[in-house]
Amino acid sequence: MFGLFKKKIKDAVDKLSGKIDEETKPDERPGVVCDVFQKEKEEKRAEKDIELGSEVSCDELRSQESERDSCTETFREEEKKSEEVKREGFFSKITKPITSKTLSDEFLDDILWDLELVLLENNVAQVVSQKIVADIKEKLAGQSVRKSQAERIIKDAMKSTISEILNQEKVDIDSAVESAKSEGRALLILFLGFNGSGKTTTIAKTGKYLMDKGYTCVFAAADSFRAAAIEQLEFHGNKLGIKVIKQKYGTDPAAIIFDAVKHANSRGINVVLADSAGRVHTDRNLLEELKKIVRVNKPDLKLLVIESIAGNDVVEQAKVFDEVELNGVVLTKTDVDDKGGSALSLCYTLRKPICFIGTGQEYGEFEEFDATRMVDSIF
């Protein structure tokens, strides 16, 4: 799951940290420590050779000896300074890769563009990718770091931002069911989403999930527009042993769900799982009908079922469906989604949790979403 996303993120981090390492490397041309007195010493020797072959007075000899002593003293002082320069250069050479340069905003803008492209290519919405990049830039700006440090900072920044986005307040379905039971009624969960997103299959998987926990369920076949929608839900109901409340095609969906809730309450059934027509997010009439269902039946939970492979369109879908105030998301087809950006985009757009993910076609291939595990698996 999300294999391509993980690989792309790893490659991007390696590339970024490599560029940062190159940027912060010092100028490693060897410094030349020159003996500024070498030429003077050679000249002194030449003068001495000449002097040995000529006659000089005692005063001149004493004067020359004094000059030589002075020169020797000066040379020793300069030699000492030269050694200090060499020692300073040695320690500077060690620390220079860490302290010699800082990462400018211009440099970071340039290299982080590569990361933003990777995120966009993996179905991460632009607003989300920009936030991730901005957080990394804030942590790196003005710093001078080596490659190993850059990798850690980039990964930590990404993990922190992605975790913050994914860790929305969880929907505790078990507690919701128990709360409804204590009130002597069934919990109503309404499933919304496009046709083809896996909505009906998700209802069946949720029914199996709840039955495994010891709860009883009933299905409400409230998609009374799409051909064969009722038969499809009945197929799953028969396999799972869950009763389906239905009416003929064209019946008011709000009325079908109302009847299902009434049926559940009269028989002590714990949960009503209600299907709905696959709404097209540009069709206002169908959306108004959804609002009517919510107004009449007041669902306890409204879950958006959406394909992880839908790409950046998930953002527009989520915004429109959120007009009925969604409680969470079920992300389907994650087993065939290598990109993985949809989860980030949905959570950031809705500020609502991903409750479940579908990981295959079987009823049991359905699990609660774990944000921490997803982040850890990426990094």
Q: What pLDDT does residue 95 have?
A: 36
Q: What is the mean pLDDT of residues 87-103?
A: 42
Q: What pLDDT does residue 143 have?
A: 72
Highest mean pLDDT: which range of 15-19, 151-155, 156-160: 156-160
Q: In a 10 Å sphere around its CB, with 0-12 CB exposed, 13-18 middle and 19+ buried, how is residue 47 labelled?
A: exposed
pLDDT digits (tens, 9 = 90+) for 174-193: 999 999 999 999 999 999 98
Q: What pLDDT does residue 337 have?
A: 63
Average of per-residue pLDDT values in the chain: 78
pLDDT at residue 313 is higher than 80? no
Cβ neighbors of 148 (< 8 A, separation 6 or more) are 17
pLDDT digits (tens, 9 = 90+) for 270-289: 999 999 987 555 566 778 88
Of residues 116 and 65, which shows the higher confidence score? 116
CA distance 168 to 372: 11
Relative to beta strand 217-220, strand 187-192 is: unpaired
pLDDT digits (tens, 9 = 90+) for 239-264: 999 999 999 988 899 999 999 999 99
Extents of the domains making up the chain: 3-16+102-166, 55-99, 173-378
Q: What pLDDT does residue 246 have?
A: 93
Of residues 61 and 353, which shows the higher confidence score? 353
**C-alpha angle 341-343-347 in degrees, rounded to nearest 5:** 125
Q: What pLDDT does residue 339 have?
A: 60
pLDDT at residue 35 is higher than 50? no
pLDDT over 70, % of the chain:
73
Q: What is the mean pLDDT of residues 159-169?
A: 88
pLDDT over 90, % of the chain:
32
In Å, how far are 115, 143, 272 from 110, measured between CA atoms? 10, 16, 53
Highest mean pLDDT: which range of 57-71, 92-106, 131-145, 297-311: 297-311
- Range in 15-29, 337-351, 355-369 the model is least confident about: 15-29
CATH topology of domain 173-378: Rossmann fold (3.40.50)
- Range in 173-177, 310-314, 319-323 the model is least confident about: 310-314
pLDDT at residue 2 is higher than 80? no
pTM: 0.74
CA distance 377 to 361: 23
Query: Which CATH class name applies to 3-16+102-166?
Result: mainly alpha
The single residue listed with the structure tokens 């995120």 is: 119
Q: What is the mean pLDDT of residues 207-235?
A: 93
pLDDT at residue 237 is higher than 70? yes
In Å, how far are 89, 140, 335 from 94, measured between CA atoms? 9, 22, 49
Q: What pLDDT does residue 195 have?
A: 80
Fold equal for 3-16+102-166 and 173-378:
no
Q: Are 105 and 96 in contact (CB under 8 A)?
A: no
The structure tokens listed for 305 are 């079922």
Of residues 152 and 206, which shows the higher confidence score? 206
Helix (H/G/I), strand (E/B), else coil: 274: strand
pLDDT at residue 17 is higher than 90? no
Q: How confident is the model at residue 296 (pLDDT cuts 50, 70, 90)?
A: very high
Closest CA to 260 of 224, 211, 304, 309: 224
Q: What is the mean pLDDT of residues 294-305?
A: 96
Cβ neighbors of 115 (< 8 A, separation 6 or more) are 12, 13, 16, 132, 133, 136
pLDDT at residue 7 is higher than 70? yes
Q: Are 351 and 129 in contact (CB under 8 A)?
A: no
Q: What pLDDT does residue 15 have?
A: 76
Backbone φ and ψ for 33, nearest 5 degrees, come out as -90, 110
